[in-house]
């Protein structure tokens, strides 16, 4: 059984992941054949479309077009510093996430309904796919981690929007009486959700984490000695294409192209895991 885990990384992360996956498919390694898709933040958008049957070629072409319908934003050093402070203060990992969640609820952002329209445009299929898909988020009230799926009772668009709700930048998303923020606040990729699968490919635009145990490579290593896994992250050229602001829609096209180019350098290693 094979799992594809797609991590967070903003609009440039969506683009880079899409380019990489398309490049791998063109080289004969189609990760869209996964038995399980796990999506966190940016990865939830890509995973949702793959699980819903949207071809990688179609997704890639979309990333090359002008980013109409996207809302420009910035994940600046000030915001990152506030994350660091929230996680540096005493408490359990869940308590730290709750602290950040409280700040996210208070933050002045665009309207939740306006932000939802972005995801209505991104997810043309509208409803939960039949294929196995887990979309991650964090409850702002208590910091609890949530993996939404088709049986969770969460509307599909809202689940993906919640996973992408970067705290202090985008509004938390209301689902069944609770408000949720970015699943990347627990881990950049939440690789541990692929436990039980024998072949796991992790595509992670961001590999640094608030805590060693949350790192994608650490979580992949803990899946078990009998599990074949690999973590692919942006190479030097892709990092330059992505730039300093992962939420800049103008960097979408070069990020996608960099991902496509990088595929040629990792295809053999990924094929060894994927089979």
What mean pLDDT, rounded, does the chain reach?
95
Residue 209 exposure: Cα atoms within 13 Å on the Cβ side: 24
Domain ranges of the chain: 2-71+110-137+146-161+189-274
pLDDT in tens, 116-149: 988 988 887 679 999 999 999 999 999 999 999 9
Strands 132-139 and 145-148: antiparallel
Mean pLDDT of 191-197: 98
Q: Tell me if residue 111 is catalytic.
A: no
The active-site residue, picked from 44, 158, 163, 182, is: 182
Strands (E), 56-196: 132-139, 145-148, 173-175, 178-182
pLDDT the model gives residue 64: 96
Give dist(CA 22, CA 30) in Å, integer.
8
pLDDT in tens, 162-183: 999 999 999 999 999 999 999 9
pLDDT band at 82 (very low <50, low <70, confident <90, very high): confident
Give dist(CA 193, CA 40) in Å, integer.
11
User: Three-state SS string across 198-228, please?
Assistant: CEEEEECCCCCCCCHHHCHHHHHHCCCCCCE
pLDDT in tens, 215-244: 999 999 999 999 999 999 999 999 999 999
Q: Tell me if residue 233 is catalytic.
A: no
The active-site residue, picked from 41, 44, 187, 233, is: 41
pLDDT the model gives residue 68: 74
Q: What is the DSSP letter of 72?
A: P
pLDDT in tens, 90-123: 999 999 999 999 999 999 999 999 999 889 888 8
């Amino acid at each position: 059984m094979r799992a594809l885990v797609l991590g967070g990384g903003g609009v440039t992360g969506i683009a880079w992941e899409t380019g990489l996956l398309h490049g791998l498919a063109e080289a004969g390694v189609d990760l869209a054949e996964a038995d399980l898709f796990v999506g966190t933040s940016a990865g939830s958008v890509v995973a949702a479309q793959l699980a819903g049957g949207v071809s990688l070629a179609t997704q890639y072409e979309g990333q090359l077009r002008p980013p109409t319908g996207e809302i420009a934003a910035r994940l600046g050093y000030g915001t990152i510093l506030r994350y660091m402070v929230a996680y540096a203060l005493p408490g359990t990992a869940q308590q730290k996430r709750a602290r950040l969640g409280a700040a996210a609820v208070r933050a002045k952002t665009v309207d939740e309904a306006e932000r939802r329209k972005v995801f209505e445009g991104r997810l043309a299929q509208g409803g939960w796919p039949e294929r196995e898909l887990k979309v991650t988020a964090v409850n702002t009230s208590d910091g609890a981690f949530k993996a939404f799926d088709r049986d969770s009772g969460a509307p599909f668009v809202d689940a993906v929007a919640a996973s992408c709700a970067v705290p202090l930048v985008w509004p938390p998303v209301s689902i069944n009486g609770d408000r949720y923020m970015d699943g990347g606040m627990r881990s950049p990729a939440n690789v541990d959700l692929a436990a039980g699968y024998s072949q796991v490919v992790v595509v992670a635009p961001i590999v640094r984490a608030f805590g060693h145990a949350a790192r994608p490579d650490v979580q992949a290593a803990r899946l078990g000695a009998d599990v074949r896994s690999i973590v692919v992250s942006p190479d030097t050229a892709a990092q330059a294409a992505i730039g300093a602001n992962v939420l800049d829609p103008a960097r979408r096209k070069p990020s996608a192209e960099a991902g496509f180019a990088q595929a040629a350098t990792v295809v053999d290693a990924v094929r060894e895991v994927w089979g």
